[in-house]
Structure 1
Amino acid sequence: MKPQHAIKQASSDSFGWRAGMLRAIRDASEDWATTDGLIWLHLFKTVAAALLALGIAMLLELQQPRTAMTTVFVLMQPFSGMVLAKSFYRIVGTFVGMLAALLLGALFPQQPELYMLGITAWMGACVAAAVRYRHFRWYGFVLAGYTAVLIGIPTVMEPNALFLAALTRAAEVAIGIVCSAAVSALIVPRRSSLALQNALQSRHLNFTVFAVKVLDGAVERGTSQRYFADLVDEVVGFEATRAFAAFEDPGVRSRSQVLARLNHEFMDVCARLHALHQLRKRLRDNHSVRVLESITPYFHELSRLLAAHQERRFDSSDAARLALGLKHVQSTLPASMRAARRPLESDEPQCLPDFDTAGELLYRFIVEFGRYIDTYASLAKNHNPARERPPVRYVSRTNGFVVACTFARTAVVVGAVSWFWIATDWQSGGLAVIGAALTCALTSSAPNPVKLGLQMTVGAAFAALAGYLVTCYVYPAIDGFPLLCAMLAPVLAAGTFLAVRPKTAGYGVGFTVFFCLLAAPDNVVVYAPDLLINNGLALVAAMLATAIGTALVFPVQMPWLIARIEGDLRSQVTLACKAPLAGLAQRFQSSTHDLMNQLRMLLPRRSRRHRNALRWMLVTLEVGHAAIDLRSEIERASYAPDMHACWKPALDRVAQDLAALFERPDKARADAAQRSVRAAIRAVQRVLEIVHEDRDRRHDQQRILSSLHFIRTALLDKDAPFDARSSVPTPSPKARLR
C-alpha cells in the first residue's frame, strides 16, 4: 500500500495538472474568440443574411432574388455601424441611380448608342465623385453609378419595361439592405462604439509611451518617422470609425462633435511633440550642450508626470487627474524657465534663441495636451466643451487631376465594352458591360486597382465554374428551400472566407458577387448551361479588359500623378501662410493628414519615395504649424507696425518665401527663405528693444521670435528635404560622354 502522503501528493499533482489544462484551454479559447473566432462569426452572419434575403425575395416572388443576395455580400461588414452606414448610403445611391436610369431611358428610347453614351458618362462621373468623396460617401456614389447600369442595361431596347425593372430592382436591393442590417445588429452584434472606445484608449496609451521616450531623449533615429507615419493612418481611421459609429449608437451621435474635436486636438498634440523632438535633435546635432542641460530637467518633469498615468484602461477619472497635473506644470513652467534663463543671459547670450524656442514649444505642447485631456475627460460627463467652441470639421482633399483621370479611365473602359457589345450584337454583351462597370466601381478606391481587378477576375472565373457545377448537378437534385440553403451555404462560405482575408479579398469578392449574378437561383430556375458559360466568359473577358484598361489609361500609380499629390502636400504650407486664420489649424491638420494617407496607400512601404513623402509631411507640419502660430501672434501685436516700419513687411516676406519654397523647392528658394527669416528676426528684435519695459508686449515679440527661430532651425536642418533635387550632382558633359 502507498503511504497516505504519497496518495495526497498524487492527488494534488493530478488536481494541479487538470487546473493547468483548464487554464490553458480557457486562454486558448479567449485568444481564438478575439482572432479567428471573429472571422468565423462574420462568415456565419454574412451567409445567414444572404440566404435570408434570398428566401424573402423568393417568397415575395420578385424577378431576380439573386440581386438581394448580391446586395448582402457587397454590404456586410464586421461592425454593425459599418453596415448601417453603408445601408444608408446604398439606399441613397440606389434611389439616385434608379432616377438616372429612368431619365436616360426617357431621353433615349430605343437608341442604344446614345443611351450607352449617357450610361458611360454617368458611370464615369459617379466613380470620379466616389474618389473625390471617400469613406462611406464613396459607396453612395458608386451605387448611384452601377445601379443605373444594372437597371438600364437589360432594358436598353425595351423602354416600356424600364420603370417596372427599376421598381423591382429597388425592392430587391431594399431586402438585401434590411437583412444585412438585421442580422448584423441582432446576432452577436459587434458595436462600432466599443471599437471606437478601445481605439481611443489604445491610441492614448501608445502616444503617452512614445511621448515619454521623446521627452527622455530615448527615441532612435528613424523610429519617430515610422511612429508619426502610423499616426496618419490612425487619425484617418478614427475619423471614419467615428462617422459610422454615429449610425448605430445615439450616445456616439450626441458626442460626435466632441470626438471630432478630440481627433483634431490629438493631431495638434502630435505636431507639437514632433516639433519638440526635432528641436531637441537639432540641438544635439549642433552640440548645444548648455541649452540641453538647461531644458532637460523640465522635459524630465513632464516625462515623469506622463509615465505615472500610463494605465492600460485610461478612463475619464484618470484623464481628470492627468489634467490637474498638466495645469500645475503649465502654471509653474514660465517662472522656472525665467530662473533658468538668467545664467544664460550673462554667460552665453548666443544660446538664448534656442532656449526660448525650446521653452515656448514645451509650453505649447503642455497647453495642447491639457486641452486634449480635458476633452477626453468630458466624454463620460454631461458637460460638452465642444458646444462652447466653434465646430470642428474634418477636411479631406483630393487632387483634381486624380478625379479627372478616374473619370477618363472609367469612361474609356465602360465605353469600349459598350461599343463592342453594340457593334457585335453579342448576346452576353449586356452582362459584360455590367461586369466592367462593377469592376471599375469596386476597385476605384483601391491603392492598386489593377491587382484587385485581376484578383476579382480570377474569382469570377471560379464563380462561373462553381455556377456551372451547381446548375447542372445540384439544383436538379434538390427540392425545397432548406435543402437549397444547405447546398449553397458551403459555396458562399468559401467565398466569404476568402473575402475577409486581406491578401485574398479580391478573389473572395469576385467569387461571391459574380456567383450570385451568374448562378444564384431565381423563383423559376432556368437550366441553361450554355447561357451560363457564355455569361461567365463575358464577365471574365470584360473584367480582364477592365484590368488592362486600368493599367494603361491614366493608371493610379503614375509617377506624374503621385507627384501632383506630393505637390498638394507641400502646398499645405501655402495654405498655412495665406489662408484666413479662422479655422485654419483644423483645415491644415486634417487635409495634410488626408493627403499623406493617400500617398501611403499609393507608395510602397519602405521605398525611397515613401520615405521622401514622409519627410515632406513632417516638415510641412513643422513649418505650417509655426507659420500659423506666427500669423496669430502678428495679428495680436497690431501695435508693432507703428513702432518699426520694416516689421510688417519683413514678416510678410517670410510667408511669401516659405510658400514659394514649398511650392517649388530648390536650394535658391531655401536660401531666400532663410534670408527673409533672418531679416524678420532682426526687425522683431528692434521692436523687442523698444517694448522691453512693457511685459505683455515683450512676451508678444518673444513668442514671434520663437516661431521665427524654429522656422529657421527647420530650414537649416541637414535632414531637411528642401534641396533634395539639387543635392543630386548633375553629370558633366565629359562624364556623359564616358
Structure 2
Amino acid sequence: MKHQHLIQQTSDLRRRWTAVLRALPTASRDWATSDGLVWMHLFKTVAAALLALGIAMLLDLQQPRTAMTTVFVLMQPFSGMVLAKSFYRIIGTAAGAIAALVLGAVFVQQPELYMLALSCWIGGCIAAALRYRHFRWYGFVLAGYTAALIGVPTVTDPNNLFLAALTRAAEVAVGIACSSAVSALIAPRSSSVALQRTLRNRYLDFTAFAAQVLGGKVERDVFEERFADLVDGIVGFEATRAFAAFEDPGVRTRSQRLARLNSEFMDVCARLHALNQLLKRLKANGLTPVVDTIAPYFEELSALLVRRNEQNSGASHATRAAVELRIFQVTLPRRVRQARGPLEASVPQLLADFDTSTELLYRFVDEFIRYAETSASIEQHTPVKEWPVVRYVSKTNGLVVGLTFLRSVVVMGIVAWFWIETDWPSGGLAFIGAAIMCALSSTAPDASKMTLQIAIGTVFATVVAYLFTCYVYPNIDGFPLLCVTLAPVLAFGAFIAMRPGISGYGVGFSVFFCLLAGPDNVVSYQPDLLINNGVALVAAMLVASLVLAVIFPAQMPWLIGKIKGSLRSQVVLACKGELGGLNQYFQSSTHDLMAQLRVLLKNRSRQHSDALRWMLVTLEVGHAVIDLRNEAAHATYVEGLHPRWSACLEEMSADIAELFERPERRGLDRVLTSLRETTAIAQGVLDTVPADGERHHDLQRMLGSLRFIRTALLDKDAPFNMR
C-alpha cells in the first residue's frame, strides 16, 4: 500500500511538472510582452547613459554628466521616438546655443537686462512649445533651457561664452548619438509595428462599438465616455505617425495615406455620433413609426459589422467589410423607397424625419466604406488612388499660450531677481532649475503637482549624490567599477520615471542626480557646494510649484471657459471658412481642443461633462453645416430656381455662428427662424424638380442637413438648452 501511494505521488508530481513545462512558453511570451519590456527599457537606458559617459570622458569633454543627462531625457520605449526627439533636440540645442551667444553679446556686463531677455526668450520658447505640440514641443523647449544652460554659467565670463556653447553642443551630441544607437541596435522596438497594431485594434474596436450603437445597446453616459476615448486616440495617433516616420521609410511614403485614414476616422466617428443622437431624439419625441421603419436597416448593418468582427481573419477583414458594406449601400436606396411608401400613406407628416434618418445612414455607410478601404490598403500595402493632401491641424487657445509665457517669465524673474539681489553663489543653478521646471511642466495636466514631485525627487537625488561624492567616488578606481556602482542608482530612477502617477519623482531623481553628482574627468569633492546646489534646485522648484498652484493655475474657471469658447468657435469656422479642406481642418482642430480640455479637467466632473457636450454639439452642427455648404456649392442652380436661396443660406450660417459665439436663448430662437425659412425654400424647390433625378437627390441631401441641424439645436441635452 505504501509503495502504491509513493507511485501515485510520483505520478502526480510528474504531471504537475509536465503542466509547468508546457505552460513555460506561454508564460515566457506573456512576460516578454509585459514586464520584460520594462526591464529591457531599463537596461537600454542605463547602457546608453554609461556609454555616453564613457565616450564623453574619452573625448575629454568638460562635463560628461551632460551627455549622461541627455540620455535620460531622450530615451523612449520605441526607437522612432528616440530618433524623433534626437532630431528636434539637435535643432533646439543649436537654436539655444545661438540665442545664448546673441544675448550674451548684446547685454554684456548688464546682468539685469541679460536675465530679463533670457527669461523672455525661454518663456517664448515654452509658449511656442505649447502651441506646436508632440515632438516639436521638445525642440522649442530645448531651445529655451539650452540657452540658460550655456549662458547662465558664463554670464560673469563672456569671453568663454563661445567655447561653452561649442562644448555644450558636443556633450549633447554624444548623448544623442548613444541613445539613438542603443535604441536602434539593441533589441529595437519598431514604432511602425506598434502603429500597425494600433490601427488594427482601433478598427476592430470601433467596428464593435458602431455595431452596439446601431443596435441601440449603448447608454448615453457610456457613449460619451467611449467617444471621449476616441478623441484621445485620434490626437495620439498623429504623434505616433510623426515619430514612426523617423524610423521607417515605409511609413514616410505612406504618411499622407495615414493622415487621410485619421481624417476618415474622424468623419465616421462624427457620423456615428450623429446617428446615435438622431435615434435618441426620435425615441424621445415618440416618433415610433419612423423608428420602427428604419430599425431593420440599423439592425442589419449592426449584424453585418458584428459578423465581420467575429470572422476576423487579419488583413482581409477590412477588405471584406468594405465589399459587404458596398453591397448594402447599393441596395439601400431601393429598399428605402419601398419602405417610404407605406409611411407616406399612413403618417405623411413624419416623412421629413424618415428622410433625414435614411440620408444620415447612407452617409455613415459611405464614410465607413472609405475608412475600411483605406485601412485595408495600409495593412496590405496595396496601392490606391491618392486624394488631395490631408493635414492634421493642432490648435491652442491664444490666451493659454500667453498665460504660459507669462507664468514662465514670472517664475524665472523671481528666481533671477533673488539671485542678483543676494549674489547667491548657487543662484545660477536655481535659475536653470526654474527654467527646466517651467519647460517640463508646460503640458502637464497638473503642473504644480508635477513640479512638486520633481522637487521631492531632487531632494532624494541630492542625498544620494552626497553619499556618492563623499563615500563612493573616493573608494573606486577605473571606469568599469564606476559603471557597476552607478548602474543600480540610474536604473532605480529610470524605473520610477516609468510608473504612471509617480513619474515626476523618477524624473527629478534621474536628471538631477546626473547634474549634481554625475562624474566628470576630474571629480570635484566639494560636499558643501553640492548641498548648496541641491538646495538651490529644490528652492527654485518650490517657487515654481507655488506660482503654478496659486497665481497661474491651469484649472482656472475663466481659462477653461476661454478654451470652451475656442471649441465653440469651430462652428464659426464651419459657417464662414473657405470650403477647400475645411472639413479636415474643422475635424482635427475640434478634436485637438477637446483633447486639451480632457487633460485639464477631471474625468466625470461637471465641467468635464459640460465640455464634452459642447464638443459633441459642435461636431454635430459643424459637420452638418459643412455638408450643407458643400451641397449648396455643388447645386448652384438652386439660386436660379429661387432668388432668396443664397441670401437665406448666408443669414442662417451667420445666425448659427453668432449662437455659438454667444450661446443665448434669443440667438437660438433667431437660428430656428432662419432654419424654418431656409428649409421652406429648399422644400419648395424640391417640389418643382423631377423625382429620382440628380437635382432631387441634391435637394434631399440639403434638406436632411437642415433638419438635422434643427434637431441638434432643439435637443434637450444640448448645453445651451440646459442653462
SS of residue matched to 1:521? coil
> Could you say which residue in structure 2 is the equivalent of 1:461?
459
| CA–CA distance in structure 2, aligned partners of residues 314 and 201 of structure 1 | 11
SS of residue matched to 1:522? coil
> Could you say which residue in structure 1 is the equivalent of 2:610?
612
Mark the runs of 5 or more structure 2 residues left unpaired by the alignment: none
RMSD (Å), alpha carbons: 1.7
Report the AA paired with residue 400 of structure 1: G
> Could you say which residue in structure 1 is the equivalent of 2:678?
680
> Could you say which residue in structure 1 is the equivalent of 2:208?
209
| CA–CA distance in structure 2, aligned partners of residues 167 and 566 of structure 1 | 45
1:116 aligns with 2:99: no
SS of residue matched to 2:552? coil
SS of residue matched to 2:109? coil
Pair 1:314–1:265, CA change in 2 (3 A): farther
| CA–CA distance in structure 2, aligned partners of residues 311 and 456 of structure 1 | 47
1:598 aligns with 2:596: yes
1:448 aligns with 2:451: no
Query: In the TM superposition, what is the alpha-carbon distance from 1:312 to its structure 2 partner?
Result: 8.4
| CA–CA distance in structure 2, aligned partners of residues 373 and 208 of structure 1 | 10
* Contact 2:57-2:521 within 8 A present in 1 as well: yes
> Could you say which residue in structure 1 is the equivalent of 2:234?
235
| CA–CA distance in structure 2, aligned partners of residues 217 and 553 of structure 1 | 47
SS of residue matched to 2:501? helix
1:652 aligns with 2:621: no
SS of residue matched to 1:154? coil
| CA–CA distance in structure 1, aligned partners of residues 707 and 397 of structure 2 | 33
| CA–CA distance in structure 2, aligned partners of residues 31 and 236 of structure 1 | 29
| CA–CA distance in structure 2, aligned partners of residues 581 and 8 of structure 1 | 83
* Contact 2:715-2:721 within 8 A present in 1 as well: no
* Contact 1:291-1:354 within 8 A present in 2 as well: yes
> Could you say which residue in structure 1 is the equivalent of 2:287?
288
| CA–CA distance in structure 2, aligned partners of residues 336 and 10 of structure 1 | 70
Give CA-to-partner distance per residue, 1:414-466, whole Å, 9 cap, x none: 12211211111111111111111111111111111100000011111111111
Give CA-to-partner distance per residue, 1:108-145, whole Å, 9 cap, x none: 22222222122111111100100110110000000000
Please give the TM-score of this superposition, normalised by the length of structure 1. 0.95
Deviates more, 1:673-682 or 1:54-63: 673-682
* Contact 1:201-1:314 within 8 A present in 2 as well: no
Of residues 581, 584, 587, the one that matches 1:583 is 581
Pair 1:386–1:53, CA change in 2 (3 A): farther
| CA–CA distance in structure 1, aligned partners of residues 57 and 253 of structure 2 | 40
Query: In the TM superposition, what is the alpha-carbon distance from 1:566 to its structure 2 partner?
Result: 0.3
Report the AA paired with residue 277 of structure 2: Q
- In the TM superposition, what are the counterparts of 1:722-733 in structure 2 within 5 Å? 722-725=720-723
Report the AA paired with residue 157 of structure 1: T
> Could you say which residue in structure 2 is the equivalent of 1:491?
489
| CA–CA distance in structure 2, aligned partners of residues 505 and 19 of structure 1 | 41
Query: In the TM superposition, what is the alpha-carbon distance from 1:7 to its structure 2 partner?
Result: 9.9
| CA–CA distance in structure 2, aligned partners of residues 705 and 192 of structure 1 | 45
Query: In the TM superposition, what is the alpha-carbon distance from 1:14 to its structure 2 partner?
Result: 4.5
Report the AA paired with residue 439 of structure 1: M
Pair 1:386–1:572, CA change in 2 (3 A): farther
| CA–CA distance in structure 1, aligned partners of residues 637 and 466 of structure 2 | 82
* Contact 1:68-1:176 within 8 A present in 2 as well: yes
Instruction: Name the % identity.
Output: 64
> Could you say which residue in structure 2 is the equivalent of 1:420?
418
Mark the runs of 5 or more structure 1 residues left unpaired by the alignment: 726-738
Give CA-to-partner distance per residue, 1:131-189, whole Å, 9 cap, x none: 11011000000000000100000101111111111111000000000111111111111
Pair 1:584–1:315, CA change in 2 (3 A): farther
Give CA-to-partner distance per residue, 1:522-578, whole Å, 9 cap, x none: 100111111111111111111111111222343222111111100011111111111
* Contact 1:666-1:723 within 8 A present in 2 as well: no
Give CA-to-partner distance per residue, 1:697-719, whole Å, 9 cap, x none: 11111111111111111111111
| CA–CA distance in structure 1, aligned partners of residues 252 and 96 of structure 2 | 28
- In the TM superposition, what are the counterparts of 1:96-111 in structure 2 within 5 Å? 96-111=95-110
Give CA-to-partner distance per residue, 1:491-540, whole Å, 9 cap, x none: 11111111000111111101111111111111001111111111111111
* Contact 1:450-1:548 within 8 A present in 2 as well: yes
> Could you say which residue in structure 2 is the equivalent of 1:729?
none
Report the AA paired with residue 291 of structure 1: V
| CA–CA distance in structure 1, aligned partners of residues 3 and 147 of structure 2 | 86
> Could you say which residue in structure 1 is the equivalent of 2:523?
525
1:81 aligns with 2:80: yes
* Contact 1:205-1:312 within 8 A present in 2 as well: no
> Could you say which residue in structure 1 is the equivalent of 2:430?
432
| CA–CA distance in structure 2, aligned partners of residues 218 and 539 of structure 1 | 55
| CA–CA distance in structure 1, aligned partners of residues 191 and 273 of structure 2 | 30
Give CA-to-partner distance per residue, 1:321-346, whole Å, 9 cap, x none: 11111111111111110111011111
| CA–CA distance in structure 1, aligned partners of residues 633 and 512 of structure 2 | 60
Deviates more, 1:78-87 or 1:40-49: 40-49
Report the AA paired with residue 178 of structure 1: A
Deviates more, 1:360-369 or 1:488-497: 488-497
Report the AA paired with residue 237 of structure 2: F
Give CA-to-partner distance per residue, 1:241-286, whole Å, 9 cap, x none: 0110011111111111111111110111111111111111111111
| CA–CA distance in structure 2, aligned partners of residues 281 and 120 of structure 1 | 54
Query: In the TM superposition, what is the alpha-carbon distance from 1:9 to its structure 2 partner?
Result: 7.7
Report the AA paired with residue 587 of structure 2: Q
Give CA-to-partner distance per residue, 1:659-705, whole Å, 9 cap, x none: 11111112221222122111211111111111145711111111111
| CA–CA distance in structure 1, aligned partners of residues 226 and 661 of structure 2 | 26
Pair 1:311–1:148, CA change in 2 (3 A): farther
Deviates more, 1:687-696 or 1:627-636: 687-696
1:20 aligns with 2:50: no
Report the AA paired with residue 228 of structure 1: F
Of residues 569, 582, 605, the one that matches 2:567 is 569
| CA–CA distance in structure 2, aligned partners of residues 441 and 2 of structure 1 | 75
> Could you say which residue in structure 1 is the equivalent of 2:28?
29
- In the TM superposition, what are the counterparts of 1:258-277 in structure 2 within 5 Å? 258-277=257-276
* Contact 1:316-1:378 within 8 A present in 2 as well: no
* Contact 2:196-2:379 within 8 A present in 1 as well: no
Report the AA paired with residue 120 of structure 1: S
Deviates more, 1:156-165 or 1:34-43: 34-43
Give CA-to-partner distance per residue, 1:167-213, whole Å, 9 cap, x none: 11000000000111111111111111111111111111111111111
SS of residue matched to 2:148? helix
SS of residue matched to 1:310? helix
* Contact 1:670-1:723 within 8 A present in 2 as well: no
Report the AA paired with residue 593 of structure 1: H
- In the TM superposition, what are the counterparts of 1:153-172 in structure 2 within 5 Å? 153-172=152-171
| CA–CA distance in structure 1, aligned partners of residues 57 and 691 of structure 2 | 86
> Could you say which residue in structure 2 is the equivalent of 1:701?
699
SS of residue matched to 1:507? helix
Query: In the TM superposition, what is the alpha-carbon distance from 1:724 to its structure 2 partner?
Result: 2.9
Paired positions, count: 723
* Contact 1:89-1:140 within 8 A present in 2 as well: yes
* Contact 1:666-1:724 within 8 A present in 2 as well: no
SS of residue matched to 1:346? helix
Report the AA paired with residue 75 of structure 1: L
| CA–CA distance in structure 2, aligned partners of residues 390 and 127 of structure 1 | 34
Deviates more, 1:86-95 or 1:312-321: 312-321
| CA–CA distance in structure 1, aligned partners of residues 722 and 181 of structure 2 | 55
- In the TM superposition, what are the counterparts of 1:338-353 in structure 2 within 5 Å? 338-353=337-352
* Contact 1:80-1:185 within 8 A present in 2 as well: yes
Report the AA paired with residue 562 of structure 1: I
- In the TM superposition, what are the counterparts of 1:169-568 in structure 2 within 5 Å? 169-310=168-309, 315-381=314-380, 383-385=382-384, 387=386, 389-568=387-566
| CA–CA distance in structure 1, aligned partners of residues 175 and 153 of structure 2 | 21
Deviates more, 1:289-298 or 1:57-66: 289-298
| CA–CA distance in structure 2, aligned partners of residues 680 and 626 of structure 1 | 14
* Contact 1:258-1:385 within 8 A present in 2 as well: no
* Contact 2:444-2:450 within 8 A present in 1 as well: yes
